[in-house]
Every structure is written in structure tokens, then in C-alpha cells.
Amino acid sequence: MQPLSIFQTSFGARRRTLRILGSALVCVSPLALYAQTSLRPTPPQTEGPFYPTKLPSDRDADLTQVAGHPLPAQGTRLYFSGRVLVRDGSPQPGATVELWQCDVFGRYHHAGDDGSPRDDGFQGYGVATTDDGGRFAFKTIRPVAYSGRVPHLHLKVRTAGGAALTTQVYIAGDATAGDPVLAFTSADARQRLTMVVTPTPGREAGALAGAFDIVMP
């Protein structure tokens, strides 16, 4: 029997290596690949006492102007946008995104908060529907602090498939000490509920922009 040539030995070794690699890929492919693409759901937070008891007649995605009111809202303009996604990263078209917040005086509208002063030029609540890419956009004001709470935006999201999420979004750099909601929020969840805002050239003087993606549970 003649010994194997160097070519034959190398070829056999390559075949064995390919078989081992193929087996390894088969073993890890479904779960490992899913783990690499799976997103963490956005942490939920309380709805709070100020969800509108009666929805306003003007509830579009521009909260800075109320239909029929002569003056626009007071406050720094904020162009707030993002995407609604599921855990595999797929966009959710047709999702409903509700946004509500207080005005520059710390007053909520349409929720039984009858204190004064108040800004009647601020809509206080709006709704947007995501496009085919899962994108939404609002024009509002930078949130402000009020008694007991740091600046925040309230969000409620519902997808066409029936998934729902209620949460709050905070602004990077704002002080958070003493907030009763954040007191029961982990450091990890705080970070994932924080949005960076930056100046946006070409808009109103001093206007800001911030983006926040929502991952449904």
C-alpha cells in the first residue's frame, strides 16, 4: 500500500475542518443569531394622573399650535421623532403614538389640572401614526419640571397587532434627584429612557431635536 501524498493528506484535513465548522454553525445558528439581533423592550412606566380625561378636538402631532387659538405655545421648540420597532428590529407601520406633557407653567391640559397660570396656546396632547418604516414625529416643546417631577414626556404606544406600551422619556443632562417615579426606576432603565437633544439649525431660534426609538414588549 502506497503512502498518501501531501496533497491527499491536506485535502482530507480540509474536509474534516469544514465538517467541524459546518456542525458548529448548525448548532449555533437559530438562537445565537436571534440573540445577536434581538432588541431589549423599552421599559414601561406609570401613566400618571394626567392622561387626558377628555381628548381635545385638536390632537394632531403639532402641539405648539391649537386650532382657533391666536397665539402659539410658549416654550422652546422640540422636534421629537423616532421609530416603533419589535424585538427583532422590524418596524411597526400603522402604530399609534400618543404624547402628552405639561406646558411651560407645569400645567397639564384636558386632565382636570385647572391651576393657573397656564398656556392655552399649548395643545398638551397629540397623536401620530407610524409610516411604513415605523417612523413618527411630533413638534412640541422641551419638557419642563414641575412640583415633584423632573422634565419628561409621556408616551402611550399601540401597534396594529394589539401590543401596547406606556412609558416616559427624559432629557439627558437634566437633574433627576427627588423624582418619585425615577426613585423606583433602575439605573439601566433610566439610561434607556433618556433622550439626547441637540440644536437643530434651520428651525426656530433655539429649537431642539431629539430621537427616541420604542421597542415593543
- Tens of pLDDT, residue by residue over 82-119, are 999 999 999 999 999 999 999 999 999 877 788 889 99
Residue 180 has pLDDT above 60, yes or no: yes
Contact 115, 127 (CB under 8 A): no
Give the contacts of 171 (CB within 8 A, at least 6 positions apart): 142, 143, 151, 152, 194, 195, 197, 210
3-state secondary structure of 100: strand
Q: The whole model's pTM is what?
A: 0.83
Band (pLDDT 50/70/90 cuts) for residue 16 is low
pLDDT at 110: 79
Name 100's bridge partners.
Answer: 125, 154
Question: Which cell numbers in the block locate residue 108?
Answer: 397639564
pLDDT bracket for residue 186 (50, 70, 90) = very high
For residue 114, what pLDDT is reported? 81
- pLDDT (0 to 100) of residue 90: 97
pLDDT at 111: 75
Pick the CATH number of 77-215 from 3.30.70.260, 3.40.50.620, 1.10.3720.10, 2.60.130.10: 2.60.130.10
Average pLDDT for the chain: 87
20 pLDDT more than 50: no
Q: What pLDDT is attached to residue 115?
A: 81
Give the side-chain half-sphere CA count within 13 A for 189: 13
d(CA 159, CA 17): 47
CB contact set of 74 (below 8 Å; sequence gap of 6+) = 103, 104, 119, 121, 122, 141
Residue 181: all three cell numbers together? 417615579
Q: How many angstroms separate the CA atoms of 59 and 61, rounded?
A: 7
Q: What is the pLDDT of residues 46-73, one digit of tens each?
A: 998 899 988 889 999 999 999 999 999 9
Q: Which residues contact 182 (CB under 8 A, 6 or more apart)?
A: 150, 170, 176, 190
pLDDT above 70 covers what percent of the chain? 83
The predicted structure's pLDDT at residue 37: 66
Strands 152-158 and 96-100: antiparallel
* For the chain, domain boundaries: 1-37, 77-215
